[in-house]
Amino acid sequence: MNRNGAPHHSPAGWPLPRGDHTAHEEPPTERRNPHTTDIDLLNTLDLLQRLNAEDRSVPEAVGRALPELAHAVDLAVAALRSGGRVHYVGAGTSGRLAVLDAAELVPTFNTPGDWFVPHLAGGEPALYEAVENAEDDAGAGAAAIEESAAAGDFVMGLAASGGTPYVLGALEAAGRIGAGTGLVSANPRCRAIALVDAAITVDTGPEPVTGSTRMKAGTAQKLVLTSFSTAVMVRLGHTYSNLMVSMVATNAKLRARTVRILREATGASVETCELALHETGGELKTALVHLLAEVDVASASTALAEADGYVREALRALRS
C-alpha cells in the first residue's frame, strides 16, 4: 500500500506520480483572465454583463467535446443494459453537481435508484460546506469505487484541473476492477485524459475570478452532466419523441403533466387521457401505446415488455 492507501499494483500508467505536478501545473482555470482584470471597478450592471460575456463561451466549448461525450454515453448505456451501474466521482463543486444530476433522474425518468451513484469527496457534509482537504485523499476515492462498483460498470470522474487525487484514485480503482472510465476536465493537458476510455475535455479557459472553478468550469460540468444523463435515458427508451414518458407522477403538478404529455402524443381529449391513465394505474407508457395503437391495456403492456420498454418498438410490433 502507498501512503494514500491505494495498492501499488495498477494498470500501466497508473497511478499518476503524486509529487510530479508538471502534468497539470497551472491548468487554464488557474490563469488570470485578461478580460476581467477591472471587474472590481465596474458598476453592477457592467460587472454582470462582463460575467455574462464570459459565460457565453461555455456552450461552444462543450460543443467541441461532444464526440468524446457521445463515446461516454455509449459506454454508460452498455453498462446499464448489461446490469451494471454508472458512478459519478467528484470533489467540491464537481461532486455537488454530480449528486444533483443523479438525484434528478429518478423522478424525471423513473430510473432505479441505484443506476446512477454519486461519490462526493468528504461525503454528505461536503454538500453543505467546503471540506477542502477531502479532495486530496486518493485512497478514499479508490475505496469508494472498490466498495460499490464492479466490472462492467461505468465510472465518470469530474475534475476541473484533471488532477484531483480523490477522482484519480477512483479512476485508478475503476480500471483495476474492469469498469469503463471517463473524465470531465477543463484541462486539455492533464495526463489523466490519456488513461481513461472517454476523455471529455471542455477548455473553458481562465475563470472570471481566477481559480474559481464554480464559474465557467462548473457551468460546463453541469451542461455535460445534463446532456450525458439525458442522452443515456433517451438511448434506453425513457422518452417517446421529446416527451418524458417514464416519469412518475407523485404530486398534483406531475399528474397534470402526464395528462398533458398524453394529449400531446396522441391528440386525445383530456377525458380520454385521464381514463387511459386510470386504466393503466398511472403507467404513462402503457397508456400511450394503448391509445396510439388502439389496443387494450393488456396488449399494450405486453408489447412494451417485449420491446424492453421502448415505445416506438412496441408500436412497430403492434402495427406490423
Asked if residue 53 is part of any domain, the answer here is: yes
Q: Is 311 among the domain residues?
A: yes
Report pLDDT for 130: 87
Catalytic residue among 54, 68, 135, 207: 135
Is 30 annotated in the active site?
no
pLDDT one-digit tens code per residue, 153-202:
999 999 999 999 999 999 999 999 999 999 999 999 998 988 899 999 99
pLDDT, tens digit, 9 for 90 and up, residues 239-252: 999 999 998 788 89
> What band does 99 get if pLDDT is binned at 50, 70 and 90?
very high
User: What value does the mean pLDDT take over residues 251-258?
Assistant: 92
13 assigned to some structural domain: no
The last residue of one of the domains, among 235, 270, 291, is: 235
Number of domains forming the structure of the chain? 2
Residue 219 pLDDT exceeds 50: yes
For residue 132, the model assigns a pLDDT of: 73
Give the pLDDT confidence score for residue 25 in this predicted structure: 63
pLDDT tens digits, residue range 284-307? 999 999 999 999 999 999 999 999
Q: What pLDDT is stored for residue 24 in this prediction?
A: 41
Provide the residue range defining the domain that includes 202. 28-235
Q: Within this chain, do residues 209 and 88 fall inside the same structural domain, yes or no? A: yes
Do 158 and 256 lie in a common domain? no
Q: Where are the alpha helices (DSSP H) in 82-201?
A: 92-109, 125-128, 138-148, 165-177
Q: Which of 25, 60, 68, 104 is catalytic?
A: 104
Domain contains 130: yes
* Confidence category of residue 15, pLDDT binned at 50, 70, 90: low
Cell match 418498438: residue? 313
Task: Verify that 219 and 271 share a domain, yes or no.
Answer: no
Question: Are residue 211 and residue 305 in the same domain, yes or no?
Answer: no
**Are 223 and 312 in the same domain?**
no
Per-residue pLDDT, 4: 36
* Residue 21 pLDDT > 90: no
Q: How far apart are CA 124 and CA 147, in angstroms?
A: 17
Please spell the DSSP secondary structure of the chain, one letter per residue: --TTS--S--STT-SPPTT--TTSSS-GGGSPPTTSTTGGGS-HHHHHHHHHHHHTTHHHHHHHTHHHHHHHHHHHHHHHHTT--EEEEE-HHHHHHHHHHHHHHHHHH---TTSEEEEETT-THHHHS--GGGGG-HHHHHHHHHHH--TT-EEEEE-SSS--HHHHHHHHHHHHHT-EEEEEES-TT-GGGGGSSEEEE----S-SSTT-TTTHHHHHHHHHHHHHHHHHHHHTT--BTTB-TT----SHHHHHHHHHHHHHHH---HHHHHHHHHHTTT-HHHHHHHHHTT--HHHHHHHHHHTTT-HHHHHHHHH-
With a pLDDT cut of 90, the percent of the chain lying above it is 86
User: Can you give the CATH number for the domain in which 224 is found?
Assistant: 3.40.50.10490
Question: Of the residues 235, 260, 281, which one is the last residue of a structural domain?
Answer: 235
Average pLDDT over residues 223-241: 97
So what's the pLDDT on residue 22?
41
User: pTM above the 0.85 mark?
Assistant: yes
39 in a structural domain: yes
Residues 122 and 263 placed together within one structural domain of the fold: no
* Within-domain flag for 241: no
**Domain co-membership, 176 together with 278:** no
In a domain, 96, yes or no: yes
- pLDDT over 60 (residue 14): no
Average pLDDT over residues 58-69: 98
CATH no. for residue 306? 1.10.8.1080
> Are 166 and 46 found together in one domain?
yes
Predicted local distance difference test score (pLDDT) of residue 6: 40
User: Do 138 and 68 reside in the same domain of the chain?
Assistant: yes
Active-site residue flag, 104: yes
pLDDT at 283 over 50: yes
Shared domain check, 226 and 262 = no
- The Cα 147–Cα 57 span in angstroms is 39
Q: Are residues 230 and 88 in the same domain?
A: yes
Instruction: Please report whether residue 35 resides in a domain.
Output: yes
Same domain for 100 and 148: yes
